């Protein structure tokens, strides 16, 4: 009788666990669906807009909108395990709090995008067309890739990547309850991710921020660093790729596959606010 009761209790205990697991699986599927939708939208919107290194960012409102969709497309697949872990810790079947966590993650990257836009605007006002390919643009793009390669091997990168790869301690140590807490924790997690990936995103600007090809490469490198079990292989492999691209961009840019040399292609479509 006791064994039968234990068996019934075990089945009763497993049912909520299975329901929670299904909810987390559905949440991950939703994040991947949003990312896929973002890639589809970006591919349609960016057609003809790639001007190569230091592509113009357009109007502020237009750029912020595109940047948010871009971050969702690039980052949601690699952050999905963290969102699922947060959902598991909350022990809730509802997806609202985990989605607020993901929204907070995007808020952190939105701030990073605004900073990038401000730096580009300030640089244009102070130094004029220094980023033009025929001036210093080529050398600045190559130098950006080399700096990004070096950053991959720094202690700061290692610390930030550790938070992204093993987020349990970060989630537990900075736990905030409620929906506002979910948003704040998402912002905090996104800030660590920005610290981990800012050099890779700078490399995207240096290669062509409106290029789906370079978006896919950078997104793949970010996912590899966060998700592959061989951390050292992912980090050193990323550094090697950035180093090779930087050297090639400085020495023989025409030989870089997928790179649009400014002024060598058709006129881009105008970007409006």
pLDDT in tens, the chain (273 residues): 334 444 444 445 566 666 667 778 888 899 999 999 999 999 988 888 888 898 888 899 999 999 999 999 999 999 999 999 998 888 766 678 899 999 999 999 999 999 999 998 888 788 878 888 888 999 999 999 999 999 999 999 999 999 999 888 888 888 888 889 999 999 999 999 999 999 999 999 999 999 999 999 999 999 999 999 999 999 999 999 999 999 999 999 998 998 998 876 544 444 443
Distant-in-sequence contacts of 191-198, Cβ < 8 A, 24+ apart: 191/108, 192/160, 192/163, 192/164, 193/75, 193/79, 193/105, 193/108, 193/109, 193/160, 193/164, 194/108, 194/109, 194/112, 195/156, 195/160, 196/157, 196/160, 196/161, 196/163, 196/164, 196/225, 197/222, 198/112
Q: What is the pLDDT of residues 79-134, one digit of tens each?
A: 999 999 998 888 766 678 899 999 999 999 999 999 999 998 888 788 878 888 88
List CB contacts of 15: < 8 A, sequence separation 6 or more.
Answer: none
Q: Which residue has the tokens 């909108």?
A: 65
Q: Within a 13 Å sphere around the CA of 77, how many CA atoms are in the beta-carbon half?
A: 21
Tokens of 196: 């981990």
Alpha carbon 172 to its chain's center: 23
Q: CB 227: neighbour CB atoms within 10 A?
A: 14
Alpha carbon 58 to its chain's center: 21
The structure's pTM equals 0.86
What one-character DSSP code corresponds to residue 208?
A: -
CA distance 78 to 200: 14
Q: 96-127 and 2-45 are packed helices; what angle lies between their axes, rounded to 10 degrees?
A: 30
């Amino acid at each position: 009788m006791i064994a039968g009761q234990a068996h019934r209790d075990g089945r009763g205990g497993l049912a909520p666990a299975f329901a929670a697991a299904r909810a987390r699986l559905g949440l991950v599927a939703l994040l991947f669906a949003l990312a896929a939708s973002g890639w589809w939208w970006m591919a349609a919107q960016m057609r003809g807009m790639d001007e190569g290194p230091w592509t113009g960012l357009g109007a502020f409102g237009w750029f912020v909108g595109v940047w948010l969709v871009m971050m969702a497309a690039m980052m949601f697949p690699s952050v999905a395990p963290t969102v699922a872990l947060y959902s598991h810790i909350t022990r809730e079947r509802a997806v609202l709090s985990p989605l607020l966590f993901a929204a907070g993650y995007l808020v952190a990257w939105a701030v990073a995008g605004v900073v990038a836009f401000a730096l580009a605007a300030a640089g244009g006002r102070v130094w004029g067309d220094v980023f033009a390919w025929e001036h210093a643009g080529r050398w600045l793009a190559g130098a950006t890739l080399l700096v990004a390669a070096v950053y991959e091997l720094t202690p700061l990168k290692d610390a930030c990547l550790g938070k992204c790869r093993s987020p349990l301690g970060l989630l537990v140590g900075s736990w905030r309850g409620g929906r506002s807490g979910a948003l704040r924790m998402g912002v905090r997690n996104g800030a660590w991710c920005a610290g981990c990936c800012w050099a890779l995103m700078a490399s995207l600007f240096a290669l062509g921020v409106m290029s789906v090809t370079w978006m896919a490469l950078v997104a793949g490198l970010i996912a590899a660093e966060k998700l592959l079990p061989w951390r050292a292989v992912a980090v050193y492999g990323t550094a090697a790729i950035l180093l090779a691209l930087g050297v090639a961009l400085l020495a023989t840019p025409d030989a870089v596959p997928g790179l649009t040399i400014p002024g060598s292609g058709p006129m881009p479509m105008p970007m409006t606010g």
